[in-house]
Each structure stands twice: as structure tokens, then as C-alpha cells.
Amino acid sequence: MLAAAAAQLDLEPLLATFQREGWVRLGRMLTDEGLDALRTRADEIMTAQVRYPEMFFQRDAESGRYDDLEFGKGWQGPSLAYRKIEKLELDPRFFQWLSNPLFGRVARTMIADEVALYRAVLFTKSAAGGTALPWHQDGGIFWGVDRDPTLQIWTALDDCPVEAGCLEVLPRSHLGGLATPQGGVIPDGELARAQAVERALALPAVAGEVLLIHNHVWHRSGVNHTGRPRRALSVCLMSAQTRCLRRKRAPRQFRTVFPG
């Protein structure tokens, strides 16, 4: 699945940019064959041709508004209108991609000798439009771990132009840490003070392109207006020393992806 160019990729300047800006492009690293395999498997999972009972599913809101999303319903039958599918590491094809040598080089350089997976998520915006995602950060108390992960590796499975609801970031916003201890959606007052709307940077991507995103960089995405699906895989990696803090249920055990 991994493009041959990945082996010669000079990570040092790219990771310096990531540390400074909160994001960076690695280029088109997923081959055409890999794209076909992952697109096919994504459709098979959403339409129940391939089932993993432990996977988490969330449907789009019919209105396209984030505030109208329904939580706790999980699998609601075969559909291409799921906006979020988690635990993709259960699938061998997706695990093959998320555990590729390039991701290993990045993770070991940025994190530690032993790297675990916080989550592997398929974010989709269906041909019907999908759901707009507001400005947010991926960390804080809500994430339930003893230290925030800081590395997400994002792979476009389809072309993702601006009109498809591409990822948007507020460059360097990660340098200020969390906007709230809880993490998640950024309060309106903080957005206004940071002039987030005026300073937003759109990150259109082509199918197969890989981006690194810092968990704390403010990011959002809009609705898909192309009439074609817009799918992307987000893989959040962290030190294998990270521990789950939840108490109402048994603590999560995180899968080691790159052993020491």
C-alpha cells in the first residue's frame, strides 16, 4: 500500500514544520492499489458485507448540523451515511495501512520507541453532504487518558477539495495548549479572540495524500457539496506508557502498533 517514495522521505524538515505550525503534508503516500482496497473495505463495513461487532458507528444528522447528531445509537443498519466509524484497527486491511513503516518512522521520532494506538477512525461525508464539524481540539479530560496524544496521521481516501468539506486548521493554535480543560469544541469567545474564522487555513487534499495533525491544533470541516463521498482515515498514535483514567468501566487497553 505504501508508495516507494516514502522510504526516501526526509522527515526532519517536515516534523520541524509540524511542531511549529501544528500540521504538515507528507505527500501522496497511499498507492492506487491501497486506495482501492481501503475504499472497498470502507463500503463493505458500512453496508454490513464485513462486520466487526466491536466497531463504533455514528450516523450523520439529517440536518447536517453537528448539534443535531444522535449519540449512543451505534450501528443502525447498512448505510453509506455513517459519519464516523471507530476501531478500524480490527480490520486487517486498515491495520496494514496504519502500521506501515512510514507511520512507524514518524511515530518513533515524535513519540517514543514503543507506540500505541489511541484510535483509528474513518471520517466520512457522504455524497448527500454529511455533517459540518465545528472548531475543536482532540484532547482534554474527555479523552480519558493520563497524557494527551499529540500526533494524528490523516489519510485522504478520496479527493478532498474545499467544496467537499476539507480539513481546516488554525495554524500554531496548538502552541497555546487546550482552550478548555475538557477539550473538544472551542467556545465562541475563544474563537472570536483568536479570529479563527478570518485566519482559518483550508487544507484540500488529493486521494492518497497524508497529513500530520497535532491533536491540539484547532481544526474543523464543512459540508460536502460535490455529490461524491469524502472519506478520510485519522490515526491517533501515542506513547505505549499512556494509561486510561476511566473508572465507571474497566480501563481501556491500548493496542501497541510499533513495538520497542
* 174 Cβ contact list (under 8 Å, min separation 6): 22, 150, 214, 215, 216, 217, 218
Distance between CA atoms of residues 50 and 128, nearest Å: 23
Q: Is pTM beyond 0.85 here?
A: yes
Distance between CA atoms of residues 157 and 46, nearest Å: 15
Instruction: Give the model's pLDDT for residue 155.
Output: 98
Question: 4-11 — which CB contacts under 8 Å span 24+ positions?
Answer: 5/29, 6/100, 6/101, 6/102, 7/101, 9/102, 11/105, 11/106, 11/109
Instruction: Give the model's pLDDT for residue 139.
Output: 97
Say how many C-beta atoms besides its own lie within 10 A of residue 123's C-beta: 22
* 238, 111 Cβ separation under 8 angstroms: yes
The alpha carbon of residue 185 and the mean position of all alpha carbons in its chain are separated, in whole angstroms, by 15
* 132 Cβ contact list (under 8 Å, min separation 6): 64, 65, 66, 165, 220, 221, 222, 223
End-to-end CA distance of the chain: 23
The alpha carbon of residue 64 and the mean position of all alpha carbons in its chain are separated, in whole angstroms, by 19
Which ranges of the chain have pLDDT less than 50? none
Say what the alpha-carbon torsion angle 12, 18, 21, 24 is, to the nearest 10 degrees.
Answer: 100
Candidates 117, 220, 131; CA nearest to 168 is: 220
CATH 2.60.120.620 fits 4-51+69-258, yes or no: yes
Instruction: Give the model's pLDDT for residue 140.
Output: 97
